[in-house]
Amino acid sequence: MTAKKQQVEKEYTVEEKLAALYQLQAMVSEIDRIKTLRGELPLEVQDLEDEIAGLETRLEKYRTDIQELEASVAMQKNKITESTALIDRYKAQLDSVRNNREFDNLSKEVEYQGLEIQFSEKKISEYSELISRKQEEIAAQAEALEGRKADQLQKTGELEEIIAETKQEEEKLREKAKKLENAIEPRLLTAFKRLRKGAHNGLAVVYIQRAACGGCFNKIPPQRQMDIKLRKKIIVCEYCGRIIIDPELAGVEA
Ligand SMILES: [Zn+2]
């Protein structure tokens, strides 16, 4: 049984190994790209949510301001009521004054309370003006908030869809990559994974680009380029250690 299996197992040529490695590279690079994309998407929604929270805080502040202003208006109205009551009392007392001094004092008090009422009325009109300005501001901000909330709802829906789609795509790619990995000899696969881990762009297999390594862009000597094109040996970049193949094998026109 084992002997039979070994017979069936194919012996891959170097060219086939290189092609399989490059295919694997393309798949895992695509997975990397999808993961990066998915990672950025929630940030967009987060930005919108921050903006909405900012608008809500501002609205809340305007509402508190209005409450405070309304309290101030009520206080001034109370003062007016008190002053009016005092004026009525002083005027009643004026009817029964006994001397000029009393008359003068009461008149002054009446005059003073009259001024107090004028001052309160002025304050009330100032506060009312501020209240109506804040109310206008609230109306404008509330409209903006509604718009942002609608955006957020739409965006969140879109993003959830994209996330679900990319997750599906990623899973399919992972399955394909796994199958391919089974066809690559363990020693080579280990080297591939180690190279990928060490490379900031996740590239372990690259092709020649303008006579240079497609990973680190250092020039490749002509003789080495020839050897790469022959596909008889696995050749690594002498600078970065990445496996280099010829563009044609990568499906790229030279
Ligand atoms: Zn290199």
Element (H, E) at 222: helix 222-230
Count of structural domains within the chain: 1
Q: Is residue 157 part of a domain?
A: yes
Q: Is residue 162 part of a domain?
A: yes
The average confidence (pLDDT) of the chain is 92
Q: Is residue 254 part of a domain?
A: no
Question: 70 CA to middle of ligand 1, Å?
Answer: 73
Question: 66 CA to middle of ligand 1, Å?
Answer: 67
Q: Is residue 200 part of a domain?
A: no
Give the CATH number, domain containing residue 112: 1.10.287
Range of the domain at 152: 39-168
pLDDT at 41 over 80: no
Question: 68 CA to middle of ligand 1, Å?
Answer: 69
Question: 236 CA to middle of ligand 1, Å?
Answer: 8
Q: What average pLDDT does range 159-174 have in this prediction?
A: 92
Give one DSSP letter per residue of 15-56, joined into a string. Answer: HHHHHHHHHHHHHHHHHHHHHHHHHHHHHHHHHHHHHHHHHH
Q: Is residue 95 part of a domain?
A: yes
Q: Is residue 29 part of a domain?
A: no
pTM above 0.85, yes or no: no
Question: 104 CA to middle of ligand 1, Å?
Answer: 104
Question: 241 CA to middle of ligand 1, Å?
Answer: 6
- 7 pLDDT band, cuts 50/70/90, is very low
Question: 213 CA to middle of ligand 1, Å?
Answer: 5
Query: C-alpha angle with apex 105: 83 to 96, nearest 5 degrees?
Result: 90
Question: 122 CA to middle of ligand 1, Å?
Answer: 80
Q: How far is CA 70 from the centre of its chain?
A: 39
